[in-house]
Structure formats: C-alpha cells, structure tokens
C-alpha cells in the first residue's frame, strides 16, 4: 500500500519569500515521487519527479524537492515566491507494479504582494 500526506491545505507567503510545501509518503517498496501544479480551471502539470537517480531534484519554474528516505519526505521548495506561483500543488506517488498515481490532498499556495 502507499499513501501521501500533505501538511497544510493552505499556505500563504509574501512575494519574494521562501516557499515550503510539505509532503510525506508511505510505501512498502521504493517509491517514485512527483509534484504536480494545478492552475485554476486547468489540468495538472508536472513540476518535478524523483525516480531514484538523485535525491535533490530540480524542476520547472525554480522549484526543487529533496527526497529524504529517513524522514519519508519529499518537500517542495522555492527560494523566492512569485505572484504567478499561486496555484494548488499536489504530491503524488507510484511504485513498481502500481502505475496509477496516488495523490495527496493538495496544498493551495497564496502569494501576497
């Protein structure tokens, strides 16, 4: 079985501040981890993914995430928030033999001017 927990359904930051969105996973086997972003009335877009090649993963739009096995975490960060980052962010997991994504409940990011 596998699951994803996203702490904080809503996060608000000021423009230019650090963004930190939390994701913890549980998986009985090594996972593949993803962060997706959803802008209003749009589908999901991949930000980045962890597939065991490197623990620090860089994605689009200046986002990155670090896989920490000891903490079963895959938190998403961005050094400086931009107004255009306002969206909903989803952490998701798959594993060998389970091709469908299991999503967390999502975190809505607000960026204040």
Q: Which of 7, 44, 64, 72 binds another protein (CB under 8 A)?
A: 44
Q: Which is nearer to another protein, 97 or 113 (CB)?
A: 97
Is the torsion defined by CA of 111, 94, 42, 47 positive or negative? Answer: positive
Q: Judged by CB under 8 A, does residue 95 bind another protein?
A: yes
Residues 65-94 as x/- pattern, contact with another protein by CB under 8 A? -------------------------x---x
Q: CB 1: neighbour CB atoms within 10 A? A: 8
Cβ pair 50, 57 in contact under 8 A:
yes
Q: Compute the distance between CA of residue 22 and CA of residue 43 in angstroms, rounded to an integer.
A: 21
Q: Judged by CB under 8 A, does residue 99 bind another protein?
A: yes
């Amino acid at each position: 079985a596998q699951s994803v927990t996203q702490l904080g359904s809503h996060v608000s930051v000021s423009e230019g501040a650090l963004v930190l969105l939390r994701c913890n996973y549980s998986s009985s086997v090594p996972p593949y981890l993803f962060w997706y972003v959803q802008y209003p009335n749009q589908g999901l877009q991949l930000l980045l993914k962890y597939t065991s090649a490197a623990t620090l993963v860089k994605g689009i739009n200046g986002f990155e995430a670090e896989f920490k096995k000891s903490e079963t975490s895959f938190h998403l960060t961005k050094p400086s928030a931009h107004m255009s980052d306002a969206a909903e962010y989803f952490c998701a997991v798959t594993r060998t033999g389970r091709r469908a994504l299991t999503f967390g409940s999502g975190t809505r990011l607000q960026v204040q001017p």
